[in-house]
């Protein structure tokens, strides 16, 4: 064995076992050609005790050592570095200094004036704008960066807090190696229902990202009911679910197929365009509701229940509906704002909006991605956290079972509260 | 245009519009390079009136004309031929004369002594054994042919009755061009439930071909209930569903995962082998039931309710369970016998057994193929008939909804029967 | 049988067999509860002879008869109607009169002043703006309609020309009932290559709609080569393929994975954002090429070879790249303009842009949709024409084989041209 | 925190980092409700230095402690236990004592007379038959167990050797979290080609498990060529690939579709049955080759090149071909024997045979599973080892590229060997 000439001490602290920080550190060092000695290791005996490890990392070159240290840092190791975060000004609006630091979806801190400061907002692939005078830092999308703003660069003086694996929450342990289509999904659906009720009870927020197949498969009225009952605070979708929903309410069809018989109706293919035209005639969804044109359905319930509705445009849109935001950057900004405070996101049969929603969510938000295509469910659930679960199943039947599970939960809770008779 | 020298008159009779016989005839002739004149066409005005067409088919060569005529025959055209069916003796056991006629799943007749005679049994890819003395013919699998038996050869003196498109049965009209995952499945499930109740009421037979995911996803008890209620007369499966079912009953797990929590249990991976070992120790499923070892579940209900259970072995089997038929030819024979009189087949999350079951079923049997993989659902439903429907959906949720739909049907019927109060 | 009281004569003319117009007419009438007599039928004997049929359609009510006639019209039947197209003014910008006629992707004519006039442009789900004074009509998207423009309403005075089934073109006959993953794809790829060479030779236009998996799977340089060789005139994509391509050129990675080893590189995850930042710093792709920053790749070849490049924004975009059009309505307009004159469209591993491209293409454009997900390939190829084919296969290997097939074609043609030696 | 009353010391030795044994131990203990102290940890600095850890495991009950220890053992931890393996006699042929130990696919040892003895054969889900007198043990399938044989029971005196993660072999590192359809597959194919050439060069064995889509998609001749060139020593398949291959050779079709045009041929649907009948007439594939009836193709090359061919029957088979083994237990035995010494297994577009082949292979065999369905590729590659890779891709194009890659490898090696010119 060739002796490694370059060394540095690294400390790992916190939930280093539960966050898999320690084994990933071992692996990373060896994968990248380095070696290490475990100088010290203390494993907390209980859940609330922190663990601690001190490693001496060895490498063959300064560059290799640097690469290893940066990689360790990316999942939570704290370098021995005592420096503040380095910053450089943005050379132009929306343009970053070349060495900009790209963020993760994990809680992040920067060192300013020798102190670790929480970075405001948490979102993947943003940059950190630093205000040294105020001792503040926040994540912003690169497109919003203004010339001259100080952008965090390099890796020094930046650290992230890795997520802890929630051992007591059984629902996510399906995740293990695979997103499977064969696990008992009703167990998961029951758990989602309990969680939705708990969030509603404490005034929290649930976001639903909804694809058009929900309406097309006849499950629209059930989702509308779930919204009406107050389980949904944020709804993201596109032109398609909006148009399908309005078409189903106005004409009883979805893409020209009658929802009560499954049969195409004569000339039904134009109902889609006629639905858009009707709402365009009213001016907006809200105006259609106010004018008594739109009297039920998913969109109606969103309007009536003050759900934060963001309909993002896409190049495949017909029409579009007047409420659809055709500027995708603007749509992203509205989505970002609406996600503030969301505790759970339910993504049903829609890949496009879901991908960006996933990116915008910080690691601690619970994510359930429902899709009949295993590749989509896997992609959406693949967040590197212990809080995401992909369900390979049918959107229609999922919503039916969820609606049923919510009703059963309600009954059980009502029963539990009822005082025993004297 | 070169003049076609060879001509023959063909008549098309019966439901030539509803069976798509006429347009396919037009298309086939032109695709194969021929031309035609419509000598006569009479379209029945009502459903019960037969239609009739007479075409003069022209081709450039005798060979081309022959090919066209044979192709027309394959979907129901009657050739002007006045000859009896031609036969040749099988040269050895299980070996056919080279020009053997290969059957379809449609009702078939052969001309014997100048009369059209129904061929007994109807199954795809079999051969016709003819007994001219008795004036009888029947379809048999080639492996069962005995040296010297007379086998129908060529195409003369053979005709098939094409299926009529059932306009009034709305459920199958989804089929159109595509098997879709986005149609309202609950409508179909309600229709399946009504049909199953009707078949049970008239003492008919429903076959279920069941894959192991049913148990693994937690829907085993619901399928067991459906069997217990008398909706299933034939059940086909393999070693996997049998073992999963027994494991779930004996240990509460499926492949080591607890069905009530979704969590793996300690050392659960051996429960699968232990389930097999337990039944092997008893001798058979029936003995396990009789000895009180197996007290519930799908296999238990099959034993208790005299369901015709055929468990076909496959090369991927562990164990296997003692009831599994390890000789696949023997399994086929038992399946063929069990399918006699079946009116509906429900194939759930299993490709292997379903493919052969589909092949064995005559065209008039209603087939529902449920699979989360669109390719499988499409393949199984692709029977060239108007009686097959592929449902791209989740096996667990499908069975939950079917169980629910059956219960609702029952209530509705009970209500309908109740006499109005005086 | 109840006698039908309401009747009307309908004529079917042209390729009524080859376009399946006749059998669809029979079927439609019966499906919708009507009956018919075939008053006359003349089938052209040769490909270039038109056919003709005259049907008397009967229905139980005026409304039913109307519905049947409209449905017949939608695939090419000519009603006996002698009226001009009816029009109403648009009540507001982007708002249509309620009875607006929604277009198909088939060639369409309107009757103006007693004469049939070709409607300019051909695209699905648009509306027809009529200028009676000039005797002109054209299809426009509803969003572009200006208050007061005359919009075609109802169905009278409008007819469409159904597509003829191209019997001699073997490549599309796979299409039959299913898009299969098991057919010999190399045969199709060879045919695509021959067609691309023919189009290039005659100065025609091929559009490629390209998904990011092309770059991610390492096939980027092969697509770049195909563009460089002049086989592509229009390229549609999104931010992702642009960013992946630039990342691969600048850093040799795609989403941080090195394309020459398949291994993640240290800190590679930020290469994606750095690629965007680099081009933003240059100002645009063209400027990046001009400044020598971008020296090869798909985007480089598009710039260098004057390919009409439309990058449509979507809500899932990072950055985005400066060339991405963030207003999706504007992107649609640019796509529509770029598709003018396109003869073939190749859609590879991208659903979003492909869906709208498919909608914008008139029926006569040849469409090949390549996707590893059978549902996507089916959806894209499901155009109701005889010119679309879905290939369920791998984007990377498809492009490798296409590149290979183009090279072999070239050699064969070169050889064919070489004069025999004396 | 409640104090845990029951403790035991466990040692982990060997590649405890590289095999992920250590982190899995930490996780398992905590998941199962226990706690631990790290008494000692020594991490080898180089690849060839063993590591060592000593943990004190604490639990609340004897039962819990036992469960934790057994689970730790299942992936390689050595218990402090000093006992020999416990055994009980089989109560009947093919029936095991209830507490039988079920094997893994990892190298396993049992303690006999105080010494660790290697267990012969290595295969998942078998049992260990112990011969204490000879000091030997071997794994056997439960169906082969003879009454009275001593079967290992419980967990004491048994240990397994976990696999080491092969850091230098880049090809398998795709595996990480997902089997992806978007990685550069040609890199993997090149690596497979190099490995196949290396194995052929050293006289090793490669097994191919081949599905019928290979022939149906036109890639049969390429697989035949790969066999002819000596790259394949074992071929597993079923009746379908055999029949498709023979049909393609005798008639140029696959399921009636001509492989050179992609078009159905007249009456082609009976070619499938005729192919079977022809070989049945000859007696066997070998006789068909000897009689000059079968002159090329996959089956021909297997016969000519003495490839160990096992065709396992299944319930979906037509015919079957005379070489197909209709008793699946017998087929398993032949497969097991044929796999002796196999170093690489290539599974292409076939789930049925692949599942059992995977189960039969010990962990050290390299497995590549090619399927266009991501669920299948994932399932087959999910072996819990570092030696399996799922490729979500097209069987036809995969074989084309593999054939091409083998040819390029050959050229490169030839060039490398050529002496430089003087």
A35 near D45, Cβ under 8 Å? yes
Share of chain A above pLDDT 70, in %: 89
Q: Give the integer Cα–Cα distance in Å for A352 and D92.
A: 59
C171 touches chain D (CB under 8 A): yes
Backbone angles phi, psi at B325, to 5 degrees: -90, 110
Q: Is B165 on the interface with D (CB under 8 A)?
A: no
Q: At what angle do helices B220-228 and B395-417 cross, to 10 degrees?
A: 30
Instruction: Please determine, for residue D172, whether its predicted confidence score (pLDDT) is greater than 70.
Output: no
Q: Could you tell me if B153 and B5 are in contact, meaning their C-beta atoms sit under 8 angstroms apart? A: no
Confidence check: pLDDT of B139 > 90: yes
Residue A405 Cα distances to A186, A189, A208, B189, D42, angstroms: 9, 7, 17, 20, 51
Where do we find the tokens 């004190």?
D56
pLDDT of residue C97: 97
Cα-Cα-Cα-Cα torsion B398, B401, B402, B405, nearest 10 degrees, comes to -160
Q: How many CB atoms lie within 10 A of CB A383?
A: 19
Residue burial A292-312, b: 16+ Cβ < 10 Å; e: rest:
ebbebbbbbbbbebebbbbbb
At C341 the pLDDT is 95
| Residue-wise pLDDT tens digits, A35-82 | 887 777 776 655 556 677 888 888 998 888 888 888 888 777 776 667
CB of C123 within 8 A of CB of C362? yes
Kind and range of the H or E run holding B311: strand B308-312
Contacts of B18 in chain C (CB under 8 A): 30
pLDDT of residue B361: 93
Mean pLDDT of all residues in chain D?
87
Q: Is A379 on the interface with C (CB under 8 A)?
A: no
- Find chain A residues with C-beta within 8 A of C266's C-beta: 32, 67, 70-71
Does the structure show a pLDDT above 70 at B43?
no
Cis (ω within 30 of 0) for the bond into A320?
yes
Cα C61 to Cα C7, C10, C58, C67: the distances in Å are 9, 17, 9, 10
Q: For the sheet with A388-392, list strands across it.
A: A308-312, A234-238, A205-210, A342-348, A366-371, A388-392
Contacts of D159 (CB under 8 A, 6+ apart): D73, D76, D78, D108, D109, D111, D116
The C-alpha of A360 sits at a distance from chain C's nearest C-alpha, in angstroms, of 10
- Angstrom distance (rounded) from CA C79 to CA D23: 76
Q: Subunits with at least 3 CB pairs below 8 A relative to chain C? A: A, B, D
Is residue A405 within 8 A of residue A384, CB to CB? The reply is: no
Q: How far is CA D108 from CA B125, B266, D78, D112, D287, in A?
A: 49, 20, 12, 13, 43
Q: Which of A118-127, B5-14, C75-84 has the lowest mean pLDDT?
A: C75-84
Beta bridge partners of D345: D207, D367
pLDDT band at C190 (very low <50, low <70, confident <90, very high): very high
How many Å apart are CA A310 and CA A320, to the nearest integer? 14
Which residue on chain D is closest to B281 by alpha carbon?
Answer: D95
Burial class (CB in 10 A: 0-12, 13-18, 19+), B166: middle
- What pLDDT, on a 0 to 100 scale, did the predictor assign at position D177? 38
Q: Do B45 and C375 touch (CB under 8 A)?
A: no
DSSP C327: B
How close D43 gets to chain A, by Cα (Å)?
7
Q: Which of A320, A342, A346 is nearest to A331 (CA)?
A: A320
Q: Determine which of C5-14, C332-341, D125-134 has the lowest per-residue pLDDT on average.
A: C5-14
The residue with tokens 């000091």 is D135
Return the residue matching tokens 């920053």: C293
Q: Do C184 and D372 make contact, defined as CB atoms within 8 angstroms?
A: no
> Per residue in B391-419, pLDDT tens?
888 899 999 999 999 999 999 988 888 76
DSSP collapsed to 3 states, B319-357: CCCCCCECEHHHHHHHHHHHCCCEEEEEEECCCHHHHHH
C85-132, pLDDT tens digit by residue?
Answer: 999 999 999 999 999 999 989 899 999 998 989 999 999 999 999 999
Tokens of C356: 């709208």
Q: pLDDT confidence of C373, banded at 50, 70, 90?
A: confident
The H or E element containing residue D369 is: strand D366-371
pLDDT above 90 as % of chain B = 55
Q: Which residues on D lie below 8 Å from C218 (Cβ)?
A: 184-187
Q: By the CB < 8 Å criterion, does C50 face chain B?
A: no
Q: Is the Cβ–Cβ distance between D127 and D154 less than 8 Å?
A: no
Specify the pLDDT at position C306.
97
**Mean pLDDT for the stretch of residues A169-177:** 46
Would you say residue C301 has pLDDT above 50? yes
Q: How far, rounded to the nearest angstrom, does the alpha carbon of residue D418 sit from its chain's CA centroid?
A: 37
Instruction: Tell which of C141, C238, C278, C316 to mutate to test the A interface (max A CBs under 10 Å).
Output: C316
Quote the minimal CA–CA distance from D194 to chain A in Å: 23
A240 dihedral zone (left: phi>0; alpha: psi -120 to 50; beta)? alpha
Residue C69 confidence (pLDDT): 85
Q: What's the confidence (pLDDT) of residue D7?
A: 85
Is the predicted pLDDT of residue B386 greater than 70, yes or no? no
| Closest chain C residue by Cα to residue B392 | C375
Q: Best of D389, D394, D403, D404 to disrupt the C interface by mutation (most C CBs within 10 Å)? A: D394
Q: Helix, strand or coil for residue B292?
A: coil
Phi, psi (rounded to 5 degrees) for C37: -115, 140
8 Å CB contact of C27 and B17: yes
Q: Which chains touch D (3 or more CB pairs under 8 A)?
A: A, B, C
Q: How far is C224 from chain A (nearest CA, A)?
A: 24
Pairing of strands B253-254, B257-258: antiparallel
pLDDT at position A140 over 50: yes
Q: Is the pLDDT of residue A398 over 60?
A: yes
At A80 the pLDDT is 62
The more confidently predicted of residues D25 and D370 is: D370
pLDDT at D44 over 90: no
Q: What is the pLDDT of residue D351?
A: 85
- Give CA separation, B141 vs B121, B159, D277, D318, in Å: 11, 19, 12, 9
Q: Read off φ and ψ for residue B35, nearest 5 degrees.
A: -135, 175
What confidence tens digit (pLDDT) does each residue in A351-375 have?
A: 888 888 988 999 889 999 999 888 7
Task: Please report which confidence band the pLDDT of residue C177 belongs to, taking 50, 70 and 90 as the band edges.
Answer: very low
CA distance B390 to chain A (A): 14
For chain B, positions 205-244, list CB contacts with chain D under 8 A: 238
Record: contact B177-C38, CB cut-off 8 A: no
Give the model confidence (pLDDT) of D247-281 as tens digits.
999 999 998 888 988 877 878 888 999 999 999 99
D408 touches chain A (CB under 8 A): no
Buried/exposed code over B386-396 (b: 16+ C-beta within 10 A; e: otherwise):
bbbbbbbbbbb
Neighbors of chain B by Cβ distance (3+ pairs < 8 Å) = A, C, D
What pLDDT is stored for residue B256 in this prediction? 87
DSSP C289: H
Which chain C residues have a beta carbon less than 8 Å from that of B382?
177-178
Average pLDDT over every residue of C144-155: 95
The reported pTM is 0.89
**pLDDT-wise least confident of B271-285, B341-355, C9-23, D399-413:** C9-23
Reduced to 3 states (helix: H, G, I; strand: E, B; else coil), residue C369 is strand
- In the predicted model, is pLDDT for residue A173 greater than 70? no
| Cβ-nearest to B374 among C43, C375, C382 | C375
Provide the shortest C-alpha distance from residue A38 to chain D (in Å).
7
Task: Decide if C400 touches D, using CB distance below 8 A.
Answer: yes
For an interface test with C, the pick among A315, A329, A374, A394 (most C C-beta atoms closer than 10 Å) comes out as A315
Look at residue A416 in the predicted model and tell me its pLDDT: 87
Nearest chain D residue to B69, by CA:
D266
Taking CA atoms, what residue in C is nearest to B173? C31
Q: Is D319 an interface residue toward B (CB < 8 Å)?
A: yes
Do B41 and C45 make contact, defined as CB atoms within 8 angstroms?
A: no
Tokens of C274: 């750095």
């Amino acid at each position: 064995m060739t002796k490694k000439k370059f060394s540095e001490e690294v400390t790992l602290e916190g939930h280093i076992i539960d966050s898999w920080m320690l084994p990933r550190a071992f692996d990373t060092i060896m994968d990248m050609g380095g070696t290490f000695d475990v100088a010290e290791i203390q494993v907390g005996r209980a859940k609330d005790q922190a663990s601690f490890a001190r490693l001496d990392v060895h490498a063959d070159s300064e560059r290799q050592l640097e690469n290893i240290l940066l990689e360790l840092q990316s999942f939570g190791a704290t370098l021995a570095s005592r420096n503040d975060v380095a910053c450089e000004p943005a050379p132009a609006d929306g343009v970053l200094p070349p060495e900009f630091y790209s963020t993760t979806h994990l809680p992040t801190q920067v060192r300013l004036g020798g102190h670790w400061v929480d970075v405001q907002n948490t979102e993947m692939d943003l940059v950190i704008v630093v205000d040294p005078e105020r001792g503040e830092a926040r994540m912003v999308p690169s497109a919003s960066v203004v010339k001259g703003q100080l952008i965090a660069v390099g890796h020094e003086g930046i650290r992230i807090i890795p997520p802890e694996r929630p051992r007591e929450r059984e629902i996510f342990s399906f995740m293990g190696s695979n997103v499977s289509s064969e696990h008992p999904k009703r167990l998961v659906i029951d758990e989602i229902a309990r969680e939705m009720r708990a969030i509603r009870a404490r005034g929290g927020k649930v976001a639903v990202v909804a694809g058009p197949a929900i309406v097309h498969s006849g499950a629209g009225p059930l989702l509308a009911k779930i919204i009406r009952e107050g389980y949904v605070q944020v709804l993201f979708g596109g032109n398609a679910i909006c148009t399908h929903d309005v078409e189903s309410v106005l004409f009883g069809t979805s893409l020209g197929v009658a929802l009560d018989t499954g049969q195409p109706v004569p000339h039904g293919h134009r109902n889609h365009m006629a639905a858009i035209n009707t709402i365009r005639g009213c001016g907006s969804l809200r105006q259609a509701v106010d004018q008594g044109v739109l009297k039920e359905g998913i969109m109606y319930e969103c309007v009536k229940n003050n759900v934060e509705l963001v309909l993002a445009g896409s190049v495949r849109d017909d029409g579009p509906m007047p409420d659809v935001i055709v500027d995708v950057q603007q749509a992203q900004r509205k989505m970002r704002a609406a996600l503030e405070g969301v505790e759970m996101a339910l993504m049903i049969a829609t890949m496009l909006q879901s991908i960006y929603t996933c990116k915008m969510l910080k690691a601690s938000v619970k994510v359930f991605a429902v899709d009949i295509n295993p590749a989509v469910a896997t992609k959406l659930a693949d967040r590197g956290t212990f809080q995401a679960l992909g369900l390979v199943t049918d959107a229609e039947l999922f919503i039916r079972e969820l609606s049923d599970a919510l009703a059963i939960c309600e009954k059980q809770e009502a029963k539990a509260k009822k005082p025993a008779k004297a």
